[in-house]
Amino acid sequence: MTTNYKIEIRNIYKVFGENPSGTMEQIRGGASKGDILANTGHVVGLNDVSLAIESGHIHVIMGLSGSGKSTLIRHFNRLIDPTSGQVVVDGENVLEYSKQQLEHFRRNKISMVFQRFGLLPHETVLENAAFGLKVQGVPKAERETRARHWLEQVGLAGVEEHYPSQLSGGMQQRVGLARALVNDPDILLMDEAFSALDPMIKCEMQDQLLELQRKLKKTIVFISHDLDEALKIGDRISILKDGELVQDGTPSDILMRPANDYVEAFISGVNRSKAIRVSHLLRSVASARVSGDESYSPQSVDVSSAAMLGQSIEDVMPLLMNGAHSVPVVNEAKSLVGYLDKSEVIAALYRTSKV
């Protein structure tokens, strides 16, 4: 069976302390993070974490402070090496890379956007965006052309000669995003990239990221502690607790099939009507035909009364209240892609049954 995995994390352990390898037998024997700390003075950052990230998707890794999410993402580009395990990108174990191979990997295949913008205050927006290319020795004219392109892509055309202090927080983070994209990497790592922003600006940046992703189809690993953010942008979500992976799945898996009491509590405060999207509950046209409803065909759909894939359930509630048992769903091209079943929407909103 073929897979479309860009990144595979295989049985990663990370222990911080003077003798991390010496604690591995205890960890594999089932000792808790607290026991390891009490008995050895070592801190277990990650405990047997495995996950696979699909090419061209946004994969959100989330958890509370101390869960290990930022530790995990730093393994992807080897800012941190694991105590045990493998980090596989495009079928290659990056832990086996030589210094030269790792340098090439970081410069050309993978980039990172941090929570704190990290812009150089004495350099212009254009110079900050082009900084990585300058380090690589790319000629000035070429690097500025490429930097201007990416600044335009993130909505910053016209401010190239400004300095970071002249920009809002959201604009500074856009510069950081352009800087990460200027090498046109396959993989983009984003560590709490929007968490320092005001709520309105944060929402704008999420929308900007989704708009860019529709065009670029990058593989994005996004760290967050905000479940609403994860549900909005993530194609898939992994939840960590005390260094362990407690659930990995689609947003609908997390919302409607929580793996345990911890995940149940984690999602308890979510506004489900806003968090659940049409795409999470989409039924195929084929399944409608199997059930005997022949009304769903490309020729018969009234686009004006159809739901859009990216809408929230809150957005389409007026359509669901018109008495129909189901609502057709169309994509951005206004082509029929499936339908929403009203009874399943109600079950999802109120968790009255498994979906």
User: Looking at residue 290, what is its pLDDT?
Assistant: 46
- Identify the pLDDT of residue 298: 55
The distance between the two most distant Cα atoms of the chain, rounded to a whole number of Å, is 69
Q: Residue 45: name the closest of 242, 192, 246, 247 by CA.
A: 242
**Whole-number pLDDT of residue 1:** 37
**C-alpha torsion 307→310→313→318, nearest 10:** -30
Span 72-97, mean pLDDT? Answer: 96
pLDDT of residue 354: 42
- Does residue 299 surpass a pLDDT of 60? no
CA-derived radius of gyration, the chain: 23
Considering the domain 278-350 in this protein, what is its CATH number?
3.90.1280
Q: Which of 12-21, 50-59, 91-100, 194-203 has the lowest mean pLDDT?
A: 194-203
Quick one: pLDDT at residue 287? 62
pLDDT of residue 312: 86
Is pLDDT larger for residue 110 or for residue 291? 110
To the nearest whole number, what is the mean pLDDT of the chain? Answer: 87
Entry pTM: 0.85
Give 53-63 pLDDT, tens digit per residue: 999 999 999 99
Mean pLDDT in residue range 69-97: 95
Is residue 352 predicted with pLDDT exceeding 80?
no
Residue spans of the domains in the chain: they are 55-84+92-274, 278-350
Q: How far is CA 20 from CA 32, 37, 83, 240, in A?
A: 15, 11, 7, 21
CATH for 55-84+92-274? 3.40.50.300
- Give buried/exposed letters for 33-57 (b at 16+ CB in 10 A, else e): beebeeebebbbbbbebebbbeeeb
Beta strand pairing status for 219-224 and 236-241? unpaired
Instruction: Please state, in angstroms and rounded to a whole number, the distance separating the CA atoms of residues 329 and 339.
Output: 5
Per-residue pLDDT at 306 exceeds 60:
yes
Structure tokens at 266: 């984690």
Beta strands in 270-330 (DSSP E): 307-308, 326-330
H/E stretch holding 216 reads helix 199-216
Whether the pLDDT of residue 296 is over 90: the answer is no
Name residue, tokens 């405060």.
269
pLDDT at 272: 84
Residue 143 has pLDDT above 70, yes or no: yes
pLDDT exceeds cutoff 90 at 267 = no
Range of weakest confidence among 85-89, 150-154, 318-322: 318-322
Residue 148 has pLDDT above 60, yes or no: yes
User: pLDDT for 94-138, tens place per residue?
Assistant: 999 999 999 999 988 999 987 776 788 999 999 999 998 998 889
- Strand-strand pairing, 58-62 and 236-241: parallel
The percentage of the chain sitting over the pLDDT mark of 70, rounded to a whole number, equals 92
Q: Rounded mean pLDDT of 299-322? A: 80
Q: What is the pLDDT of residues 201-260, one digit of tens each?
A: 888 889 989 999 999 999 999 999 888 899 889 999 999 999 999 999 988 888 888 999
Predicted local distance difference test score (pLDDT) of residue 348: 82
